[in-house]
């Protein structure tokens, strides 16, 4: 990129100085290649600022009590100049926040940015991901409409299946037996104070660790050329930020944030669905005992993510998407296999296999939990065995395969939950719902 470098003005100099708080003077040319990172991390920072900005504005009108919350949302939408637009922006950027955070996690995984120096930053990143989900989740309750009330009821009910302390934990989080005024207050406080503060702190740490690791991950063999971060990097960042903001604005102009009827604790809508990012878990809930689907499996998954950088890797391929040629192939195979087996599994468990019926009298935790879970586990192990035999992957390629398969599976579960489940959570075509 050829940019005319005239003598900078006074204010320009000051702006440059500010940039140097975040960026080094020079960065590697390779590290600012757009399709290495797609600017996802930067987008998240922009989204966070946007959320804070719109969120603070909403706070001026919103009242966190069951009898006033819904009306205050109506006031925001109907009586406040641009109130609806601000709420829409908060809604859409909240959704994008979760989505892009997830893509960012995938990017760091697929470009191998979790070894050695980046190990702790990977863990901070996973924690941030969890916090972002909870940030969104606590906000979900605030409108106090039917959608909010039942989504939170269903999702917090999952906690009761935690062994021993489950019931207590659920009541603690809700501040009572059911979702009530205390729940709203607790969620509001987490949403607007505790979680954003924690996120800010971790975010600063996250940025700092990227710099300590020598910037964004690049391939070892890439060219050592350096370019000035101002303007080469800064310009790219600005363009990405502006495009993102424009996108959210347009989205918010044409699509309103959902608002259903006022919450009615005596009447559940049919179907009552969890927030979209928990939809995959909700789909699992229909096939396995809640302890396995909503507690053990997510726990194992997050645990696996945290464990990942501490595994022993013989070779560390960094800065290259999918590590190797073979890696690329394995990701493709994983996606295709998941695309075939997961829908087949859903259909089988929905219409054919009914372990509870076949083994009456056995506790449900075994018949609809342990037995199907073990069966799936064995099948998965078999798949891994075949892959190992046929492809002879290295251990990081194997992990690549496992992760890709699980991701694709979660993706398909989510799609099924969002688009193919209608009244009474029956499987149906999207156009029949």
Partner 1 sequence: MKTQTEHINRRSFLKRIWAWLGAIAVFEFAVMAFSMLSPGGRKRKRGASSFVTVGYANEIVPGSVIPYKSGQFYLVRYQDGGFIALSLICTHLGCSIGWNSSEDQFICPCHASSFDKFGNVLNPPATRALDTYKVFIEEGLVKVDTSRKIRRTGFQNSDLVYT
What residue ranges bind partner 1 (CB under 8 A)?
A: 150, 153-154, 156-158, 171-172, 175-178, 182, 185-186, 265-272, 285-286, 289-290, 356, 364-365, 368, 423-426
Please tell me the total number of residues recorded for the chain in this structure: 433
CB-CB neighbours of 261 under 10 Å: 12
- Judge whether 140 and 275 are in contact, CB under 8 Å: yes
By beta-carbon proximity to partner 1, the closer residue of 164 and 266 is 266
By beta-carbon proximity to partner 1, the closer residue of 37 and 293 is 293
By beta-carbon proximity to partner 1, the closer residue of 52 and 425 is 425
Closest approach of partner 1 to the CB of residue 374, in Å? 18
Closest approach of partner 1 to the CB of residue 154, in Å? 5
By beta-carbon proximity to partner 1, the closer residue of 176 and 298 is 176
By beta-carbon proximity to partner 1, the closer residue of 232 and 356 is 356
CA–CA separation, 343 vs 341, rounded Å?
Answer: 6
Q: Which own/partner pairs from 331-335 qualify as long-range (CB within 8 Å, at least 24 positions apart)?
A: 331/110, 331/400, 331/401, 331/404, 333/387, 333/391, 333/401, 334/401, 334/402, 334/404, 334/405, 334/408, 335/404, 335/405, 335/408
Closest approach of partner 1 to the CB of residue 171, in Å? 7
DSSP string, 281-295: HHHHHTTS-HIIIII
Closest approach of partner 1 to the CB of residue 258, in Å? 18
- Rounded to 5°, angle at Cα 252 from 251 and 254: 70
| Peptide bond before residue 168 is cis, with ω within 30 degrees of 0 | no
Closest approach of partner 1 to the CB of residue 201, in Å? 17
By beta-carbon proximity to partner 1, the closer residue of 291 and 401 is 291
Closest approach of partner 1 to the CB of residue 121, in Å? 27
């Amino acid at each position: 990129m050829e940019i005319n470098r005239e003598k900078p003005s006074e204010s320009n100099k000051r702006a440059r100085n500010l940039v140097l708080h975040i960026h080094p003077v020079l960065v590697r040319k390779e590290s600012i290649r757009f399709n290495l990172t797609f600017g996802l991390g930067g987008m998240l920072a922009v989204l966070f600022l946007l959320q804070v900005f719109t969120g603070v504005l909403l706070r001026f009108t919103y009242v966190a009590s069951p009898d006033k919350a819904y009306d205050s949302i109506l006031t925001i939408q109907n009586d406040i100049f641009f109130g609806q637009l601000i709420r829409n922006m908060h809604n859409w950027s909240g959704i994008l926040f979760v989505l892009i955070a997830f893509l960012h996690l995938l990017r760091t995984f697929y470009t191998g940015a979790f070894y050695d120096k980046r190990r702790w930053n990977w863990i901070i990143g996973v924690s941030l991901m969890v916090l972002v989900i909870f940030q969104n989740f606590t906000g979900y309750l605030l409108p106090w409409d039917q959608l909010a009330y039942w989504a939170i009821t269903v999702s917090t009910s999952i906690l009761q299946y935690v062994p021993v302390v489950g019931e207590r934990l659920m009541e603690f989080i809700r501040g009572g037996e059911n979702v009530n005024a205390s729940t709203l207050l607790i969620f509001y406080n987490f949403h607007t104070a505790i979680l954003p503060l924690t996120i800010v702190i971790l975010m600063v740490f996250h940025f700092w660790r990227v710099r300590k690791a020598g910037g964004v991950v690049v391939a070892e063999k890439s060219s050592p050329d350096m370019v000035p971060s101002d303007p080469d990097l800064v310009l790219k960042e600005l363009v990405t930020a502006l495009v993102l903001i424009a996108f959210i604005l347009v989205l918010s102009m044409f699509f309103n944030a959902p608002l259903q009827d006022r919450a009615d604790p005596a009447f559940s809508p049919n179907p009552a669905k969890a927030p979209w990012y928990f939809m995959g878990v909700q789909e699992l809930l229909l096939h396995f005992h809640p302890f396995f689907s909503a507690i053990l499996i997510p726990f194992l998954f997050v645990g696996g993510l945290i464990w990942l950088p501490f595994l022993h890797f013989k070779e560390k391929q960094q800065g290259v998407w999918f590590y190797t040629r073979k890696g690329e192939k394995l990701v493709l195979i994983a996606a295709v296999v998941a695309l075939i087996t997961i829908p087949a599994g859903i259909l089988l468990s929905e219409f054919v296999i009914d372990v509870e019926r076949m083994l009456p009298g056995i506790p449900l935790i075994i018949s609809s939990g342990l037995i199907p879970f073990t069966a799936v586990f064995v099948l998965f192990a078999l798949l891994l065995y075949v892959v190992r035999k046929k492809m002879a992957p290295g251990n990081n390629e194997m992990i690549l395969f496992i992760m890709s398969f699980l991701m694709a599976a979660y993706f398909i579960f989510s799609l099924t939950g969002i688009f193919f489940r209608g009244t009474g959570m029956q499987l149906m075509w999207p156009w029949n719902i």
